[in-house]
Amino acid sequence: GNSVTQMEGPVTLSEEAFLTINCTYTATGYPSLFWYVQYPGEGLQLLLKATKADDKGSNKGFEATYRKETTSFHLEKGSVQVSDSAVYFCALSIKAAGNKLTFGGGTRVLVKP
């Protein structure tokens, strides 16, 4: 079956620090990969996505590259802000399966001023 593994949190950082959240996946088929973010008390927002190998998704200073050889999709941001404090979810979907999302366990990130 399909699964997503991401590093457990919480990850606590100071403002302007570099953020990396590791994500690896197993999939039967060729998945699309996503990062979703959940701010406190809110729903899920799509942060970025990549649909094929070597694609780089980027948004709001966050980046992730689809690495088929290592089955990974690590999220990075060069300089975090307090407003980036949230829970981040890595996910995959497969078109042939209707694109239902399979999520990782989520990583809570806390950025301190």
How are beta strands 32-38 and 23-26 bridged, if at all?
unpaired
By CB under 8 A, is residue 66 in contact with other proteins?
Answer: no
Residues numbered 17 to 56 that lie near other proteins (CB under 8 A) are: 32, 34, 36, 42-46, 49, 51
Q: Which is nearer to other proteins, 84 or 89 (CB)?
A: 89
Nearest to 85 by CA among 39, 33, 17: 39
Torsion sign across C-alpha atoms 57, 23, 36, 61: negative
Binding site for other proteins (CB under 8 A): 32, 34, 36, 42-46, 49, 51, 89, 93, 95, 97-106
